[in-house]
Amino acid sequence: MSLQTNLFINNEYVPSSSGETLTIYSPNDDSVVTDKVQIASEADVDRAVAAAKKAFPSWSATPGVQRAKLMLKFADLLEANAEKLGKLESMCMGQPITLAKGFVAGACATWRYYAGLAGKVAGESYPPEGDGSYKIVSYEPLGVCAGISAWNGTHVLAAWKMAPALAAGNTFVFKSSEKSPLGAAAYGDLIKEAGFPPGVINIVTGAAPTGAVLASHMEIAKIAFTGSAAGGRAVQIAAAKSNMKHVSLELGGKSPALIFDDANLDNAVLHNATGFLRNSGQVCFASSRVLVQEGIAPKFIEAVKKAFDDAAKKMGDPSLADTAFGPLADKKQFERVMGFLTDGKNEGIQIVSGGGRMGDKGTFVQPTVLLNPDVKSRVFTDEIFGPVIAVRTFKTEEEAIAIANDTTYGLGSSVFTSDIPRALRVASKIEAGNVGVNQAYKTSPQTPFGGVKQSGYGREGGYEGLRGYLHAKTITINMEVPST
């Protein structure tokens, strides 16, 4: 398969002005995928932003129906190229090909949802209420916007950022992760084929230094970031120190699953095993802290252990259609996860399934279940971002909620119970932006997604995602000007 490794600026593929490149290694077998991925320099970012700025007046004035037409065409092209785009993602970060193609499908749904909102941003009006002024509130695009993606779901994360921005009339500069740049790099040809004018969408690649240039750029009106808490802080600081640009942050999580005695056992196991292990646990809102009420705990632990052991047998080459679970994204992530497991062993935490490396090549980690770690243990408090869950038991609803909320994060969560009033009561008390009931939380184009506490702020998805790319303008009209 041919690989596109250049930057995409002003509807043209161009090499980096600095000549610097990235090397991508296969997480499956450590082989070199490519050593030619171009790293965007500050000058390259300036060119991309300049192109987006030049395109903004015309794009923001383009009728919504026409913007929607181009967005829908782009979604169709993504769908038609799902096999190729999925393979590119799989090659970079080890997603099983079936899952990677599913992520492309999710991106298509998001582009189509926001195409439906293009040209449908309504304003407000308020009559004089004793002040003699008629008030109009309009919602307008911000200008040039930028997005920085994490490596675990490039196509979905790109859609969450670009689609609402374009629907609202903004232009965009998107930076993919240095760990998984090839899928987004292939967008250029599709962007041109869809008919987007030059400069409306620009794609750059690079690591943290490139992201820092975007976050501090004086001509960018908003930046949306998905990644680590440390990365989010850096983006926020750079934005504040530059032009006070709008910022939205979707950061890490240490999400809880609360499983009550009356829960359907098979369903709870399914969502906390197969559901959790999707993408090898590399999902920011995956529930890695599993809290199980004492009455059901022995059966649950036995069943989830078997499910994790069975999952290990379905782990392998991500390019094969029958592979369910792949390797971790790269050696750095592999070493991070293995470090957590080593710490857990040193603390004497019981490992009831997995706990080690799989094979002598690649970055495969066995699906692992840790039993009853201390609530202050690093494996229970820090985001591992791998196929590892920590299971603890609880006695009462109040205790479960207290443990669930004892974290600096607040992204995802789930509640398993046959008592719907309790499910709603507990959901209202969990400090998280997203709650699944009798299922692992899942996103949808129609609903907002984001976190509280150190999981970030701002929302992607739904109408809230569109509002994040608009600013409100209030116009007041004096209705009592004397006639002449």
**Over the stretch 179-230, which tens digit does the pLDDT of each residue have?**
999 999 999 999 999 999 999 999 999 999 999 999 999 999 999 999 999 9
Domain 256-437 maps to which CATH number in 1.20.1050.10, 2.40.10.220, 3.40.309.10, 3.20.130.10? 3.40.309.10
Q: Where do the structural domains in the chain lie, given as residue ranges? A: 7-251+455-473, 256-437
Statement: the pTM of the whole predicted model exceeds 0.95: yes
Edge-to-edge strands, sheet with 388-394: 350-353, 368-371, 388-394, 287-293, 255-259, 414-416, 436-437
pLDDT at 259: 98
Q: Which phi and psi angles does 473 have, rounded to 5°?
A: -120, 125
Tokens of 144: 């040039």
Domain 7-251+455-473 maps to which CATH number in 3.40.50.720, 1.10.3720.10, 2.40.40.20, 3.40.605.10? 3.40.605.10
Is 256-437 the same fold as 7-251+455-473? no
**Over the stretch 166-193, which tens digit does the pLDDT of each residue have?**
999 999 999 999 999 999 999 999 999 9
Q: Going by DSSP bridges, is the β-strand pair 350-353/368-371 parallel, antiparallel, or unpaired? A: antiparallel
Give yes or no: 250 in active site. Answer: yes
Residue 35: band (very low, low, confident or very high) from pLDDT cuts 50, 70, 90: very high
Catalytic residue among 89, 250, 383, 460: 250
What is the mean pLDDT of the segment spanning 326-353? 96
d(CA 376, CA 32) in angstroms, rounded, equals 40
What is the mean pLDDT of the segment spanning 309-331? 95
